Structure formats: C-alpha cells, structure tokens
Amino acid sequence: MQRIAVLTSGGDSPGMNACIRAVVRKAIYHGMEVIGINRGFNGFIEADMAPMNLGSVADIIHRGGTILRTARSEQFLTPEGRARAYENVKRFGLQGLVVIGGDGSFRGAHQFNLEYNLPVVGVPGTIDNDIPGTDQTIGFDTAVNTVVEAINKIRDTATSHERTFIVEVMGRKHGFIALAAGLAGGAESILIPERPFDFDDICERLMRGYRRGKLHSIIVVAEGAANALEIGQRIKERTGFDTKVTILGHLQRGGSPTATDRIMASRLGARAVELLMAGEKRKMVGIKAGQLVALDIEEALTQTRTIDLDMYNLAGVLSI
C-alpha cells in the first residue's frame, strides 16, 4: 500500500486532530503517502484534497475541531455522488481510506467499499459515544468534562440564588453525555432518551432536597429526552421554585481534548493505518476494556450501543 487518504465527517469532536496526526505520522513512518481530504465526503466528491506531511499535523494534538474540516454530506448518500468520489480515487491513486466520524460516516464508507472496493477503516469520532464496538468514542471524555465544568459554574449561581437549573446537553438519540455528566455533576435527576422519565419523581426529589435545606438543584436533560424549556416551565408551575434553563449546545463540541481523548485518538488512528497495511477491507477500530479491537463495520452497524443501566440507577440512588 503506497497512498492512503484520511477525512473527518459528521459532527466534529475534540481529539479528531490528534487522530489525523496519528494517521498521517504512522503512515509516513511506514513509507506511505497520505492525502488529506477536506470537508468530509463533500471534499472527496469535489476533489478537495491535498498531500499531507509531518509538518501538516504539527501543533494540532491539543486543538479541538478538525483541521480537515467536516460536513454531513448529502451528496455522498447518492450513487452519483459516490461515483464522482470514485473518479477521485482513481485520479489521486488512493489505495485506502481512513474515515474519522460517527455511525452515519461509517455507513457511507461501508457502502462505498461495497460498490468500489476501496479498503476503508472507520475510527469512532463523536462526542455522543453512541457507536457500538467500542467502549468510548473520540471526543466523549472532553465533552463530558466540558459539561461538568459548566454544571460546576451553574451550581455556584444556583446556590447563591437558591434556584433549580435545567441543563440541556447534546444527545438526540442517546443519553451517554447526560448520564456521565449528570453522575459526575451530582444532578438530582437525569433525563435520557433511552428511559421514560417520571415527572412526579423529578418534582418529589426537588421537594425532598428543599425540605433538607438544599439551596439549589440541577437537572440534566439530554436534548432527545425532553424539551428542557417545557420541563423548566412545568417544574416552576408544580413546585413554585425559581427555575432556569441553560442549553449548553455546541460549546460541548469544542475545546482542547483531554489527555484521555488524545491518547485514545492516537492509538486508534495508528491502528487504522495498520489495518489498511494488513489488507483489511472494511473495519472499524475501537477500544474495549482498554485494548484496541477491530471489527467489521457491518457488524458494528447492526448493533445498538446501550446505556449502562446500573450507572443510571446508581445516579438515581446517589441523588435521593
């Protein structure tokens, strides 16, 4: 294998740059050339790509976002879009592709491999942590720490004003961020899309806290679990507490990656290159119990990542 390409796709996540760096440097270490594709699959289709060297990835390990930029490509969902991308595979002499992104990106890469036989390796990069086949995705740890830091700050003002805060975090289909940050942030209640919530229980917990003399309360809501503004309004009406809503939004996607994310991104990126060198056709890499693993993308895509119910229940017990 002489020349591979790398792209980032879908929502950016902190640590993607560390992963790009690992892919580029590992491939160069083994004597290969690396083409960096800009703007995800859109750049693949539009030939927005250029060779990368050791210097292209200097000074990026600590930076959030992705130097290759990213997109959610509508065009790549069409056979015409993928046919145009294949023209660029031939034009640039690409023999393998590393795709850093979420499950939608993996689906695109998988489909492209089936149609055009270009070996692909997917590296899980999303703050959502919702990819099966790996215990953790690149960016999740940083995002959770960002949310916890925000909760700490909100707690200061919540205590001062004796308020209840609803903090909305990202996660349309899954509550991994909400659960981890809610547990780490000591939230009274955590609302996630995977579990129905009991509004009476939420209010009861608030009232119990109030009776114990608690000066503030934090409720973490995943964006896909409920409308945070509505929840805030209903709580206000039911309990009479001064209730405020903070929607953290895209700030959860930015920032310098944690050491955990940088290390994981470096290991996963390097392993992706090794898999291409070993002749693998369509794999994803992941981390299970601290060990690097590789599985067929297809297999990963048929599974669903489930929430840790013990952890969810524990959060409920500890915030009684």
Contact between 74 and ligand F6P by CB under 6 A: the answer reads no
Single out the residue of 33, 103, 128, 194 in contact with ligand F6P (rule: CB under 6 A): 128
- In the bound state with ligand F6P, the residue whose beta carbon lies nearer, of 7 and 273, is 7
Contact between 64 and ligand F6P by CB under 6 A: the answer reads no
Stretch that binds ligand F6P, among 86-94, 121-129, 240-248, 270-278 (CB under 6 A): 121-129
Contact between 65 and ligand F6P by CB under 6 A: the answer reads no
Active site residue 128: yes
- In the bound state with ligand F6P, the residue whose beta carbon lies nearer, of 38 and 252, is 252
# residues contacting ligand F6P (CB under 6 A) = 10
Output the smallest distance, CB 13 to ligand F6P, in A: 7
Contact between 172 and ligand F6P by CB under 6 A: the answer reads yes
* Active-site option among 12, 128, 141, 261: 128
Contact between 171 and ligand F6P by CB under 6 A: the answer reads yes
Output the smallest distance, CB 224 to ligand F6P, in A: 8
- In the bound state with ligand F6P, the residue whose beta carbon lies nearer, of 127 and 285, is 127
3-state secondary structure the chain: CCEEEEEECCCCCCCHHHHHHHHHHHHHHCCCEEEEECCHHHHHHCCCEEEECHHHHCCCCCCCCCCCCCCCCCHHHCHHHHHHHHHHHHHHCCCEEEEEECHHHHHHHHHHHHHHCCCEEEEEECCCCCCCCCCCCECHHHHHHHHHHHHHHHHHHHHHHCCEEEEEECCCCCCHHHHHHHHHCCCCEEECCCCCCCHHHHHHHHHHHHHCCCCCEEEEEECCCCCHHHHHHHHHHHHCCCEEEEECHHHHHCCCCCHHHHHHHHHHHHHHHHHHHCCCCEEEEEEECCEEEEEEHHHHHHCCCCCCHHHHHHHHHHCC
Single out the residue of 43, 101, 102, 124 in contact with ligand F6P (rule: CB under 6 A): 102
Contact between 122 and ligand F6P by CB under 6 A: the answer reads no
CA distance 216 to 209: 8
Contact between 220 and ligand F6P by CB under 6 A: the answer reads no
Contact between 126 and ligand F6P by CB under 6 A: the answer reads yes
Output the smallest distance, CB 180 to ligand F6P, in A: 13
Binding site for ligand F6P (CB under 6 A): 11, 102, 126-128, 170-172, 223, 253
List residues with catalytic annotation.
128
